[in-house]
Amino acid sequence: MNKLKELWGLRVVIGIFLSFGLFVYLSIWCLMHYPLYVVAGIALLIVVVKAVVKVTQPAIRREKARTDGLVAAAFQEAYGHLAPPPALKASSSYGYPAFEVIFNSKAELESAASGNEAFKAAIGRIYQRIGSGSLAFNADKAIYFTYSEPLAEPVASQGAQG
């Protein structure tokens, strides 16, 4: 069975190379015999691609604005009662949205545990359609809760004393 797989794989690779070679040969032949049609075809392809991009951009912007608004509302609902509220830093990692909720101190982080869970649940609902199967969006992995409180005491150096 392995021999058949190896043979099949070799046939696929040879077929791809032959197809690519035929495409290059026919492209050069068309360019030599019908240069005006080739240039017109390339120009038409560029116009179509630009039109598709121009048509889809507003929808993409609207969707981004909608999700940004939902994230802001979820953040306000989870942490609006806190004074001062934590900071939210949004970014992306490997094409997935990522968030960092930054509290002023460790005590504030610990006291907002219920808000943290509510925010995680809301973000999970907002981005539930991103990814698929084993690569589906996971709010637990996408949200980091940190605090910016400075250390109370200096950390001793681990280096050699001389």
Taking 70 as the threshold, does the pLDDT of residue 5 lie above it?
no
**Domain count for the chain:** 1
pLDDT value for 162: 46
Considering the domain boundaries, does residue 111 fall inside one? yes
Considering the domain boundaries, does residue 102 fall inside one? yes
Considering the domain boundaries, does residue 135 fall inside one? yes
pLDDT in tens, 41-54: 999 999 999 999 99
Residue 27 CA to residue 159 CA, distance in Å, equals 66
User: Which 3 state secondary structure label does DSSP give 114?
Assistant: helix
Considering the domain boundaries, does residue 37 fall inside one? no
Residue 108 CA to residue 98 CA, distance in Å, equals 21
Residue 160 CA to residue 162 CA, distance in Å, equals 6
Q: pLDDT higher for 6 or 30?
A: 30
pLDDT in tens, 77-135: 999 988 889 999 999 988 899 999 999 998 999 999 999 999 999 999 999 998 888 88
Q: What is the mean pLDDT of residues 3-13?
A: 74
Domain residues for the domain of 65 are: 61-147
